[in-house]
Amino acid sequence: MSEEGAIRAVLFDIDGTLLVTGGAGAIAWQRAFDELYGVEANVAEHTDAGMTDPEIAAIVFREVLGREGSPQERAKAIGCYLKHLPQAVAESEGYRVMPGVEELLERQIDDGILLGLVTGNIEAAAHIKLARAHLNRFFSFGGYGSDSADRTEVTEAAVRRAELVSGGSLRDGACFSVGDTPRDVTAGHGAGIKVVGVATGSYSVEELSDAGADWALETVEDGFPA
């Protein structure tokens, strides 16, 4: 790879892109709302893939409890979710890393590429989900749902941190993101970067391509641009 055309930073989504938790996140949310309010919060019924954790908390309050939760209530719900998440992840039989992910991350690190996260998970939840597969070691920065409820702003935060970690050496076009939903594509483009769409989540290659992904792949093993 020549210096002029080198890719300096790649930002990875977590759920559906790097791994799936087998529904551990939804279970942790359910346990949190049951503990706090005694209600059955079926997160999958009310939310879509690619939403941020703050969005999820707001939607559950509105659609399950029938009211807007106060900032204090939402903060308490997120804290309770985090309390339940490690056990939910540890016991999940459906937890798995996506094909080719670990090999790709190893190769990119060896090539001197900066790896970051761009995820709707709040930062603590992101690291809990990655820890079971020992993937935290690859990522030196990120943008998280704890930065903003807006996915584009999350991506912008990740790009700013990539600049910081790189010592200000990133050039235009030297950073792109990888995600499995149209929300990831929209957010990446909104932040001014290109996006690789991978069909390892709920959306097909065709749907990701139609959403405007600059590359649309079945898995990261299928002609990854880095």
- Each residue of 86-114: pLDDT tens digit? 999 999 999 999 999 999 999 999 999 99
- Return the closest-CA partner of residue 26 out of 9, 51, 7: 51
Question: For the whole prediction, is pTM greater than 0.75?
Answer: yes
Query: What angle in degrees, to the nearest 10, is found between the helix axes of 151-165 and 182-190?
Result: 60
In a domain, 158, yes or no: yes
- Return the closest-CA partner of residue 12 out of 222, 198, 209: 198
Per-residue model confidence as pLDDT tens digits over 154-174: 999 999 999 999 888 777 778
Same domain (yes/no): 152, 58: no
Same domain (yes/no): 145, 177: yes
Same domain (yes/no): 205, 103: yes
Question: In this structure, what token pair is assigned to residue 120?
Answer: 């709707």
Q: Is 57 within 8 Å of 93 (Cβ atoms)?
A: no
Q: Is 225 within 8 Å of 176 (Cβ atoms)?
A: yes
Same domain (yes/no): 66, 112: no
Per-residue model confidence as pLDDT tens digits over 9-21: 999 999 999 999 9
Average pLDDT rounded to a whole number, residues 196-212:
97
Q: Domain range spanning residue 194?
A: 9-21+95-217
Measure the CA–CA gap between 96 and 62, rounded to whole angstroms. Answer: 32
CB atoms within 10 A of CB 155: 30
Same domain (yes/no): 39, 119: no
Per-residue model confidence as pLDDT tens digits over 18-57: 999 999 999 999 999 999 999 988 877 766 666 888 888 8
- Residue 2: predicted pLDDT: 40
